[in-house]
Amino acid sequence: MATSQIDERFSITQAKGIIKDLSVPDSRIYWADFLATILVGHISFACLNRTEVLVPDSELGQWGLWALCFAVTAILYMRAAMFIHELVHLRAGHFLGFRVIWNLFCGIPFLIPSFLYYPHVDHHRRKHYGTDRDGEYLDLSHRHPANLLLFVLAAAVVPIAAFTRFLLLTPIAWAFPTIGRWIEKRASSMVIDIFYLRGDYGLQAHRVMRIQEAACLLWCSVLTFRVLTTGQDGLNLLLNAYLMSVTLIVVNNVRTLGAHRWLGDGRELSFQEQLLDSVNYPFRPWVTELWGPTGTRYHALHHLFPSIPYHNLGIAHRRLVSQLPADNLYHETIRVSLFDEILTLWRRAANRNKSNDDSSIRLELNDKHAA
């Protein structure tokens, strides 16, 4: 990153020197964490669908067990799913076995195969961040606050859209290449901008996409067959899966709303603006780690150093806080409450028209450290 892009109150060279030994991922941690999380999560979800067998004589007990298993499953599934964020940042060609196992145990069953997340790299390109080339950014501070509610409520249709994408659109894409290219560009990415166009990630990525599409198609077919042949049990399984999916997406969408300040207006943002537009939540890990697992609660730090594995982000943050000067811009990325930050975003959006132009919002970026 060019020196001219770095505000005088933040030295990337200084920060790199502090965390230079923290960029190597530990495969043992990845394997142990993910396998324990997903296996216990699957067991909990199985119990969720068998409450009448586990507690046969008490309807109240069945509902209590259902609620407990639902909460446990949601926490574990959220953590397991967020490993997709790690996969896209791991060096290409490394952790191949882990990538396969994650997709088999989580990506395919959850209908979030890893190829969907390839566009995440655009979110980390300095010249793409916050522009129309960034599928993970919306100018929410400049839009009606109702968009925040719509963003969260959209979780109700995402599982249906995903199921349709792989059960119906996949064979159509294979049979009709022209339609297939449209589907690849507009319906093959995990993004929040519905107008985002997926780029070309090369022949190998295309092969991976086809393999993972086939696996998801098979999985959707199996689920459909089970529902059609097992009656009420199949419907209960499908309903529980839908409710779980919506819950996870709602939690992730709420997390996303607090990950940035969303002050961009579509223009290319400077390094300083990108830094101050992202947020860290290092406090109360017994809560923040539930909605922001695998390091996603350290979003500003992740944007500074995307190569740091999730298990080192907490260490890196503590070092930076203790060793960077008190007036360093990095300290301005720290917040305590996710909901307070979202409420601030809501108020900012509600007041978006009180000035004649966007200068007040832009000044907030430039003067944030003065607050």
Decide if 73 contacts 244 (C-beta within 8 A): yes
Beta bridge partners of 278: 260
Domain end residue (candidates: 111, 143, 163): 111
pLDDT along the chain (371 residues), means of 10: 50 91 97 98 97 92 97 98 97 94 98 97 93 95 97 97 98 96 96 94 94 98 94 92 98 98 93 91 96 97 96 98 94 97 97 60 46 39
- Whether residue 107 is found in the same domain as residue 137: no
- Which residues form the domain of 258? 124-279+335-371
* 94 and 129 belong to one structural domain: no
Residue 329 lies in a domain: no
pLDDT score for 354:
74
- The answer as to whether 67 is a domain residue is yes
Same domain, 156 and 271: yes
| Residues 83, 114 contacting (CB under 8 angstroms) | no
- Give the pLDDT confidence score for residue 369 in this predicted structure: 42
Q: Determine the pLDDT at residue 263.
A: 95
- Mapped onto helix, strand or coil, the DSSP state of residue 353 is coil
159/76 same-domain check = no
Last residue of a domain, one of 79, 111, 143: 111
User: Both 361 and 242 in a single domain?
Assistant: yes
Beta bridge partners of 334: 280
- Asked if residue 304 is part of any domain, the answer here is no
Q: Is residue 118 part of a domain?
A: no
DSSP letter string over 100-130?
Answer: HHHIIIIITTTT--GGGGTTHHHHT-TTTTT
Question: Residue 8 has what pLDDT?
Answer: 63
| Separation of alpha carbons 292 and 281, rounded Å | 9
268 lies in the same domain as 175: yes
227 and 145: one domain?
Answer: yes
Domain boundary residue, one of 80, 111, 142: 111
**Same domain, residue pair 141 and 89:** no
The two tokens of residue 186 are 């507009």
DSSP, collapsed to helix, strand or coil, labels residue 173 as helix
**Angle at CA of residue 154, ends 148 and 159, nearest 5°:** 150
350 shares a domain with 226: yes
Give burial (CB, 10 Å; 0-12/13-18/19+) of 296.
buried
Q: What is the dihedral of CA 247, 252, 253, 254, to 10 degrees?
A: 90
Number of domains in the chain: 2
Tell me, yes or no, whether 339 lies in a domain: yes
Question: Looking at the domain assignment, is residue 224 inside a domain?
Answer: yes
Asked whether residue 161 falls in the same domain as residue 44, the answer is no
DSSP for 300-317? HHHHH-TTS-HHHHHHHH
In a domain, 196, yes or no: yes
Instruction: Note whether residue 31 is domain-resident.
Output: yes
Return the closest-CA partner of residue 88 out of 117, 125, 129: 117
d(CA 275, CA 290): 24
* Whether residues 164 and 53 fall in one domain: no
pTM metric for this prediction:
0.93
148 and 265 housed in the same domain: yes
- Sign of the Cα torsion 119, 121, 125, 131 reads positive
